[in-house]
Amino acid sequence: MNFDLSEMQKILLNSAKGFLGKEGKNLAREMEKTDDGYSPELWQKMAELGWMGAVFPENYGGIDGSFLDLVLLLEEMGKALVPGPFISSMVSGLSILRYGDDSQKDKYLPRLIEGNSILSHAFSAPDPEMDESIVEETGSGKDGNYLLSGTRLFVPFAHVADLIIHAADTDKGKTLFLLDAKNPGINCIPFDSIAADKPCEVSLKEVKVHEGNILGKIGKGEEIVGKMQEWGALCHSAFITGMLEQVLRMSVDYAKEREQFGRKIGSFQAIQHQCANMSTGVDQVKFLTYEAAWKLSEGIPARKEISMAKAWASDASRRVCLLGVKIHGGTGVSEEHDMQLYFRKAKANEVAFGDGDLHREIVACELGL
Amino acid sequence: MDFRFSPEEEKFNQEVRDFFIAEEQTVKEARKEWDSGLGYGPACWEILKKIGARGWLCPTWPKEYGGLETSYMNRYIVMEQMHYFLNIYSTVGAGMAGPVILHHGDEEQKTRFLLPIARGEVEFALGYTEPQAGSDLAALSIKAEDKGDHFVIDGAKLFNTRVHYAQYHWLGARTAVTEPKHKGISLFIVDLKTPGITISPIWTVGGMRTNEVFYDNVKVPKNALVGEKNRGFYYILEALDYERISSVSALERGFQEVLEYVKKTGKNKDPLIRQKLAGLAIEIETARLFALRVAWMLNRDKVPNYEAAMLKMLVSETEQNFVNTTMQIFGPYGVIQKGSKWTQLSGEYERIYRDSLENLITRGTSEIMRNLIAQRGLGLPRR
């Protein structure tokens, strides 16, 4: 049993803290005003620090760290609300590492790790009764090309992505295609969202893809998507952990300063007990996330633990931020205070890769119910 | 980070488990006695002595006092298994009185008390609460007057749970009227057979016996005092931190039982029940991780304080949530008491529903725990 970080992890964390302490200030707020929604300069610097390669092997330029290392980084990024396509790039990159063939790995991973490529994934089709993707297999057995059409929603940062992992139904079942995001047949519309995190609508119109761009085996997309959902859920749990730690810190600091009725409001039990509840919630999310990440790092199946973490993180993100707003009073709802940023971003992280209800259902299945 | 027991710890865990499985008959009887609310009966004493004989009640203690000089994690392992099999995870002697005697007692006290505690031969009853001193423990007023070669104790205690079967009273008493109040409290070990002590039962809603204790001019020897005079409150706080360690293994056992019930009765198809049970499984897992954190801290010679408070609060509130959810799953059948053919899971949860209230209060209420988390953990001001 060991709740401590390794020496390497402490070094990684210290460097991340130092870096984001300087570069992360006002970043989230400033990026909300931009069309890209993230900072390409910061992206480069993060790559130089080795963050993009945290969980990738050295032969692709990575630093061969564990999933736990990635989770610790994401926690720091969550504290600073670093906006950008980091999680979608990691999850997509990991799927290429695990399921891609050598040429795909060689083509995409070094560029990702160097910070020269942004990856995203397109899974969610609109309501089935609406416009389901139409996939026509053309020239099968002849030139091995597929024609893909259809719409995917909530594709993270697709408007700046270089590669999109697109899930399409074929006659052999769900299949994942690696699409050049700049393909003229792809139309991308970023939405304004509560968190300004650029979810996009991605529409494909007869996009021709060679079978060499299939990720994994034809018809085996379900399994890969399942894995990507696990990684994504865990990454967002880690990001939420950091966000909530920061919300707790801001709230406690505020309660120690703010005076009403002639006393610091932090001396009132009404406030103390809210802070205690926040603190407990934060620790719960944190340890569930660490446990799941540790399991993944050890190669132990962690489907149940990941869903435990994301279910709790999703609901805690709402609860803790709400308490944070209440403790800040009027300040908490004012635009110029950061509290509202965390409140809004929490919602996006709550629903990303499944909310509490969805993950509790996964846990229920894992319990044999 | 590592969320596993080491191979040695795993081996020890198995050894302890095997012991309890081999003692099935005594274990069953002991749990029946404990769940009756009356406290230790013959089977409880028998199993405690057997656990003690192996050095498992106080495994971290020096060998001369009945310990094994082993790690704190091994103590946690024993606690988990005791909790799982017996619903009792420690004695008061092993968990609270013993450590204070070990740290602050004199040689005579160590020799006299530690070995019997470690062997499971004696039990201590906490003597803290009084009618006007519950959460505000420092307000206790039972008086211990220093008469030179002995003390005379006068006053009353309330909700002192184990006094009707323990040999010793672990008594907090006022030896000085001071401001602040907590600086005039001393800690005594009183033989409960001493003349002048009267015990009268109080029954809880959960069917558990607790007691009122009256001290009428009770003469106790000088060496009943533990540590320094007027330092008792600090020892009490120290012991409370030891006592706020906990395990969730009994809760996990109960959860597993309800899970099986839900599967067997086909209720597992109900989406609401699936959501609730999954939520509970997660909450229990967080409580287990909190328990491991405290055990790990102790293993590293760190003193848990707000971490222990968080654990105590979460375990008791999770238990409450579990019992409540189980009763909801049973619906109207849940309220039928033992004995009817219509009870679910033998009607046991009707009792546990009542009995689980106690854990929210005893050893510090959830609200006191929140105060501790806020003030000690987050540094919020007391005033």
CB pair distance less than 8 Å for B259 and A287? no
CB A23 within 8 A of CB A42: yes
Q: Is the pLDDT of residue A197 over 70?
A: yes
Tokens 């007027």 -> residue:
B230
| Two tokens, residue A175 | 């299949």
Interface contact B195, partner A, CB < 8 A: no
A1, A264, A276: residue with CB nearest B374: A276
Please determine, for the modelled complex, whether the ipTM score is greater than 0.90. Answer: yes
Q: Band the pLDDT of B240: cuts 50, 70, 90.
A: confident
Contacts of A17 (CB under 8 A, 6+ apart): A76
Residues B290-299: pLDDT tens digits?
999 999 999 9
Closest chain A residue to the Cα of B4, Cα to Cα: A1
Domain match, A162 and A27 both? no
pLDDT at A128 over 90: no
pLDDT-derived band of residue A244, with 50, 70 and 90 as boundaries?
Answer: very high
Average pLDDT over residues A351-364: 98
pLDDT score of A167: 93
Search chain A and give the residue with CA nearest B293.
A3
Question: For residue A288, which residues of chain B lie inside 8 Å, CB to CB?
Answer: 282, 285-286, 289
Q: Where are the domains of chain B?
A: 7-90, 125-235, 244-377
**Least CB-CB distance to B73: which of A1, A275, A290?**
A1
Whole-number Å distance between alpha carbons of B130 and B132: 5
Q: Are residues A17 and A38 in the same domain?
A: yes
Same domain as A248, residue A179:
no
What is the C-alpha separation between B302 and B318, in angstroms, rounded? 26
Residue that finishes a domain, picked among A117, A132, A163: A117
Domain count, chain A: 3
Residue where a domain terminates, one of A195, A218, A241: A218
The whole-number pLDDT of residue A131 equals 53
Minimum Cα–Cα distance from A367: chain B residue = B278
Nearest residue in chain A measured CA to CA from B72: A1
pLDDT of A369 reads 95
| Residues B54/B66, Cβ–Cβ less than 8 Å | no
Mean pLDDT of B144-156: 97
Alpha-carbon distance B164 to nearest alpha carbon in chain A (angstroms):
36
The residue type of A212 is G
User: What CATH number is attached to the domain comprising A202?
Assistant: 2.40.110.10
**A296 in any annotated domain:** yes
Residue type, A316: A
A233/A345 same-domain check: yes
Question: What's the rounded Cα separation, in Å, for the pair B228 and B268?
Answer: 58
CA atoms lying within 13 Å on the CB side of residue B9: 18
pLDDT at residue A275, as a whole number: 98
Backbone angles phi, psi at B217, to 5 degrees: 50, 50
Q: Decide if pLDDT at A138 tops 70.
A: no
- From chain A, pick out residues whose CB is under 8 angstroms from the CB of B266: none
pLDDT above 50 for A141:
no
pLDDT at B363: 87
CA A48 – CA A64 distance, rounded (Å): 15
pLDDT range class, residue A313, cuts 50, 70, 90: very high
Q: Which fold has domain B244-377?
A: Butyryl-CoA Dehydrogenase, subunit A; domain 3 (1.20.140)
Q: What is the pLDDT of residue B305?
A: 82
Which of A247, A280, A289, A303 should one mutate to test binding to chain B, selecting the residue with the greatest count of B CBs within 10 A?
A280
Q: What is the SS3 string spanning A176-189?
A: EEEEECCCCCEEEE
DSSP per-residue string spanning A134-161? EEEEESTTTT-EEEEEEEEEEEETGGG-
Structure tokens at B5: 């027991």
Searching chain B, which residue's CA lies closest to the CA of residue A307?
A: B282
Half-sphere exposure of B184 (CA within 13 A, CB side): 16
Find the closest chain A residue to B265 by CA distance.
A369
DSSP H helices, chain B, are 7-22, 24-35, 42-53, 72-86, 92, 98-104, 107-109, 115-118, 232-243, 249-264, 271-299, 306-330, 348-355, 357-361, 366-372
Nearest CA in chain B to A10: B1
**Which of A67, A83, A117 is at the close of a domain?**
A117
A3, A263, A269: residue with CB nearest B371: A269
Helix A67-79, helix A7-23: angle, nearest 10: 30
Supply the CATH classification number for the domain B125-235: 2.40.110.10
Q: How far apart are CA B128 and CA A293, in angstroms?
A: 44
Residues 6 or more apart in contact with residue A208 via CB below 8 angstroms: A138, A145, A146, A147, A185
Residue type, B377: G
- How far lies B34's CA from each of B73, B83, B181, in Å? 26, 12, 36
Q: Which of residues 280-319 of B touch A (CB under 8 A)?
A: 281-282, 285-286, 289-290, 292-293, 295-297, 299, 310, 313-314
Same domain, A228 and A349: yes
CATH code at position A113: 1.10.540.10
User: Are B285 and A290 within 8 A, CB to CB?
Assistant: no
Give residue-wise pLDDT tens across range B311-345. 999 999 999 999 999 999 999 999 999 999 999 99
**Least confident range of A70-84, A100-114, B227-241:** B227-241
Residue numbers in A near B261 (CB within 8 A): none
A290: chain B residues, CB-CB within 8 Å: 1, 3
Looking at the fold, whether A165 and A137 belong to one and the same domain comes out as: yes
On whether any CB of chain A is under 8 Å from the CB of B3, the answer is yes
What residues of chain B lie within 8 A of the CB of A295, using their CB? Answer: 3
Mean pLDDT taken over chain A:
94
Residues A298 and A242 grouped into a single domain: yes
Does residue A318 fall inside a structural domain? yes
Cα A91 → chain centroid = 8
Chain B positions touching A252 (Cβ under 8 A) are: 378-380
Does some domain include residue A1? no
Q: Does B77 touch chain A (CB under 8 A)?
A: no
Banded model confidence at residue A171, pLDDT cuts 50, 70, 90? confident
pLDDT at A142: 53
Dump pLDDT digits (tens) for B157-213.
999 999 999 999 999 999 999 999 999 999 999 999 999 999 999 999 999 999 999
Binary contact (B274, A364; C-beta < 8 A):
yes
Q: From the CA atom positions of chain B, what is the Rg in Å?
A: 21
Residue B293: list chain A partners with CB under 8 A: 3, 287
- Residue B226 CA to residue B239 CA, distance in Å, equals 13
Instruction: For residues A33 and A15, state if they share a domain.
Output: yes
Same domain, A239 and A186: no
Write down the pLDDT at residue A139. 37
pLDDT at B352: 96
Q: What is the pLDDT of residues A21-69, one digit of tens each?
A: 999 999 999 999 999 999 999 999 999 999 999 999 999 999 999 999 9
Average predicted confidence (pLDDT) for chain B: 96
Q: Is A290 in Cβ contact with B1 (below 8 Å)?
A: yes
Degrees, nearest 5: CA angle A95-A100-A101: 165
- Picking from A305, A282, A189, A238, the residue whose alpha carbon sits closest to that of residue A90 is A238
Q: Which two tokens stand for residue A21?
A: 């302490």
Average pLDDT for A247-273: 98
Q: Is A2 a member of any domain?
A: no
Co-location of A362 and A227 in the same domain: yes
pLDDT for the residue numbered A135 = 53
The per-residue DSSP string of B153-206 comes to EEEEEES-TTTTT-SEEEEEEESS--SSGGGGEEEEEEETTSTTEEEEEEE-TT
Which residues of chain B are within 8 Å of residue A280 when distances are taken between CB atoms? Answer: 310, 313-314, 373
Asked if pLDDT for residue A134 goes beyond 60, the answer is no
Nearest chain B residue to A305 by CA distance is B282
Q: What is the pLDDT of residue A129?
A: 62
Whole-angstrom Cα Rg for chain A:
21
Which residues of chain A have a CB within 8 Å of the CB of B285? 288, 291, 305, 308
Mean pLDDT calculated for residue range B121-128: 97
Same domain, A107 and A228: no
My answer on whether A228 and A341 are in the same domain is yes
pLDDT at A136: 52
Taking chain B, what is the end-to-end CA distance rounded to the nearest angstrom?
A: 38
The burial class, CB within 10 Å (0-12 / 13-18 / 19+), for A318 is: middle
Distance in angstroms (rounded) separating the CA atoms of residues B99 and B236: 11
Give me the mean pLDDT over the A174-187 stretch.
94
Task: Please tell me the predicted confidence (pLDDT) of residue B214.
Answer: 98
**CATH label of the domain that carries residue A270:** 1.20.140.10
Residue A132 has pLDDT above 60, yes or no: no
Query: Which residues of A lie inside 8 Å of B (Cβ-Cβ)?
Result: 1-6, 68, 248, 252, 255-256, 263-264, 266-267, 269, 271-273, 275-277, 279-280, 283-284, 287-288, 290-291, 294-295, 305, 308, 311-312, 357, 360-364, 367-369
Let me know if residue A11 belongs to a domain: yes
Distance CA A369, CA A363 (A): 9
Supply the range of the domain harboring residue A163. 120-218
CB-nearest partner of B310 from A3, A256, A283: A283
pLDDT at A140 over 80: no
